[in-house]
């Protein structure tokens, strides 16, 4: 087989890049390790920056999002002193779209199918070859057969545990990481959301978040210890703890019900540099991981895709110099979102062993956010998305 761009990974990054390139007449092949059902069963965050919304519209994936997505003009934050709101629209004139990543991935697969894109699922033992030459290729196994794909470029969109980042020699990679000393226990329930906007709560017992997917589907999280297991938490125990951490008025009126998904996710900040090795380019979670506090995972994947799409299109029409700019350009925005996600995590969670001084600083940060329009504008700018 031969194509112009081989894309490793059929998650949001790989599908967005394939869709944009295909619509520009560029041939791609997406190689995905799992089945499509497996990919579509993943539950992930659901807040889209305007830049991500615009990109999805641009690639012809905006119709259901426009119909079913919910525009949010602000968010609520709660502390033991009460609840306050940061008005994105008033502070920076921007909004976010609440629309689940699962839905985004569904829409991307549907759009790729509609244009006859080549997506090979259950591709096992994907391996990258000769990525520093002008003739890179990819091999994999499926149904007991070995396959080879010759290409001009390879996009590593295979997530944190993929093969692409590992294909760059360790001595050529610089990795930056912070692992947080707690996790998020998340629950999805067919219940009405607790409020009309998201509520991020800083409570002495730990962080909590009340989010949503639609008027009949809610998503909640509570901070838990790294030693906790999902089986330690009955639905009732979860609802009781969530209610302890949310403002009383919200807790008293919220609807609870059976969890249809319950899982614990660790929190980590991670960046690898550079994002390029020869004709291999890293995109999305293959290149970076953010704690979910700032809802930046999918949104960062979108800006990476935007930058790489522009660079590949230029290179395929003669301007190969554009490829030299991808890594530096993407990393500027990645580190901006990395900082914001770290900041949101640091002001909203209770850190084991947190000193009294740390606690007072956290309270001062939250007080500034509550009382200073400039502090709210800075948060609103980051939350709704830094410029591409």
β-strands 5-8, 28-31 pairing: parallel
Shortest distance, CB of residue 349 to ligand PHB, whole angstroms?
12
What phi and psi values does residue 228 have, to the nearest 5 degrees? -70, 150
x-marked contacts with ligand APR along 249-288 as a string, rule CB under 6 A: -----------------------------------xx---
Assess whether 296 carries a catalytic annotation. yes
Assess contact for 124 and 141: CB atoms under 8 A.
yes
DSSP 8-state secondary structure symbol assigned to residue 28: E
Residue of the chain from 3, 5, 7, 10 that contacts ligand APR (CB under 6 A): 10
User: 385 touches which of ligand PHB, ligand APR, none (CB within 5 to 8 A by kind)?
Assistant: none
Contacts of 367 (CB under 8 A, 6+ apart): none
Buried b (16+ CB within 10 A) or exposed e, 317-328: eeeeebbeebbe
Decide which of ligand APR, ligand PHB, none touches 9; Cβ closer than 5 to 8 Å per partner kind. ligand APR
Q: Is 388 among the residues known to form the active site?
A: no
Contacts to ligand PHB from residues 199-228, by CB under 6 A: 209, 211, 219
Least distance (Å) from ligand PHB to the CB of residue 340? 11
Distance CA 385, CA 388 (A): 8
383 as an active site residue: the answer is yes
Q: Least distance in Å: CB of 240 to ligand APR?
A: 28
Binding of residue 259 to ligand PHB (CB under 6 A): no
Query: What distance in Å separates the CA atoms of residue 228 and residue 214, rounded to the nearest whole number?
Result: 29
| Per-residue burial over 290-299, b = 16 or more CB atoms within 10 Å of its CB, e = otherwise | bbbbbbbbbb
Q: How far is residue 250's CA from residue 257's CA, in Å, rounded to a whole number?
A: 16
Is 147 annotated in the active site? no
Q: In angstroms, what is the minimal distance from the CB of 53 to ligand APR?
A: 15
Binds ligand PHB by CB under 6 A, chosen from 69, 74, 284, 292: 292
Tokens linked to 70: 């919910």
- Residue 383 CB coordination number (10 Å): 26
Q: CB-based contacts of 2: which residues, under 8 Å, 6+ apart?
A: 149, 150, 151
Classify residue 95 by burial, with Cβ atoms within 10 Å: 0-12, 13-18, 19+.
middle
Taking CB under 6 A as the binding criterion, the range among 39-47, 74-82, 128-136, 206-214 that sits at the site for ligand APR is 39-47
295: contact with ligand PHB by CB under 6 A = yes
Q: Other CB atoms closer than 10 Å to residue 94's CB: what's the count?
A: 16
User: Least distance in Å: CB of 72 to ligand PHB?
Assistant: 10
Is the bond leading into 4 cis (omega within 30 degrees of zero)?
Answer: no
Footprint (CB under 6 A) of ligand PHB, residues 154-193: none
Angle at 145 between CA 139 and CA 149, to 5 degrees: 25
- Candidate residues 223, 259, 293, 345; the one interacting with ligand PHB per rule CB under 6 A: 293
Token pair, residue 15, equals 């599908």
Among 22, 101, 223, 384, interactor with ligand APR by CB under 6 A: 101
Helix (H) or strand (E) holding 193: none
Look up residue 134 and give its DSSP letter. S
Q: Least distance in Å: CB of 44 to ligand APR?
A: 5
297 makes contact, choosing from ligand PHB, ligand APR, none, with CB < 5 to 8 Å by partner type, with: ligand APR
Considering only residues 179 through 238, tell me which ones interact with ligand APR, judged by CB under 6 A: none
User: What is the residue whose two structure tokens read 């009340």?
Assistant: 210
Catalytic residue among 137, 180, 200, 221: 200
Q: Which span sits near ligand PHB by CB under 6 A: 40-48, 113-121, 314-322, 352-360?
A: 40-48
Q: Per-residue contact track with ligand APR, 146 to 165, x per CB under 6 A?
A: -----------xxx-xxx--
Per rule CB under 6 A, count of chain residues that contact ligand APR: 28
Backbone angles phi, psi at 198, to 5 degrees: -70, 150
Which CB atom, from 165 or from 296, has the smaller least distance to ligand PHB?
296
| 34 touching ligand APR, by CB under 6 A | yes
The residue ranges that bind ligand PHB (CB under 6 A) are 45-47, 198, 209, 211, 219, 292-295
Which residues are tagged catalytic? 72, 200, 292, 296, 383
């Amino acid at each position: 087989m031969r194509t112009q761009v081989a894309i490793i990974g059929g998650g949001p990054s790989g599908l967005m890049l394939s869709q944009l390139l295909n619509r520009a007449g560029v041939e791609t092949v997406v190689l995905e390790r799992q089945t499509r059902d497996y990919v579509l069963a993943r539950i992930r965050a659901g807040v889209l920056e305007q830049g991500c919304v615009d990109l999805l519209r641009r690639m012809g994936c905006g119709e259901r999002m426009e119909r079913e997505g919910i525009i949010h003009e602000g968010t609520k934050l709660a502390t033991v002193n009460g609840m306050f709101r940061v008005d994105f629209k008033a502070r920076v004139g921007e909004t976010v779209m609440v629309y689940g990543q699962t839905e985004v991935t569904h829409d991307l697969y549907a759009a790729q199918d509609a244009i006859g894109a080549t997506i090979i699922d259950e591709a096992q033992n994907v391996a990258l070859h000769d990525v520093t030459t002008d003739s890179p290729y990819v091999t994999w196994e499926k149904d007991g057969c070995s396959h080879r794909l010759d290409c001009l470029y390879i996009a590593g969109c295979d997530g944190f545990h993929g093969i692409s980042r590992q294909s760059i020699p360790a001595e050529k990679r610089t990795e930056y990481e912070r692992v947080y000393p707690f996790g998020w226990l998340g629950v999805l329930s067919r219940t009405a959301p607790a409020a009309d906007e998201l509520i991020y709560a800083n409570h002495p017992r730990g962080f909590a978040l009340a989010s949503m997917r639609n008027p009949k589907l809610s998503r909640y999280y509570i901070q838990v210890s790294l030693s906790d297991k999902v089986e330690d938490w009955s639905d009732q125990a979860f609802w009781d703890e969530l209610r302890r951490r949310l403002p009383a008025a919200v807790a008293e009126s919220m609807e609870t019900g059976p969890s249809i998904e319950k899982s614990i996710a660790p929190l980590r900040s991670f960046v690898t540099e550079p994002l390029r090795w020869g004709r291999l380019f890293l995109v999305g979670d293959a290149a970076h991981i953010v704690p979910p506090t700032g809802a930046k995972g999918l949104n960062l994947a979108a800006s990476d895709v935007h930058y790489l799409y522009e660079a590949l299109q230029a290179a395929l029409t003669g301007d190969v110099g554009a490829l030299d700019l991808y890594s530096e350009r993407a990393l500027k925005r990645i580190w901006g979102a990395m900082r914001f996600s770290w900041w949101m995590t640091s002001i909203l969670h209770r850190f084991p062993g947190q000193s009294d001084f740390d606690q007072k600083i956290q309270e001062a940060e939250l007080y500034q956010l509550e009382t200073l329009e400039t502090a709210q504008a800075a948060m609103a700018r980051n939350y709704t998305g830094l410029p591409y």
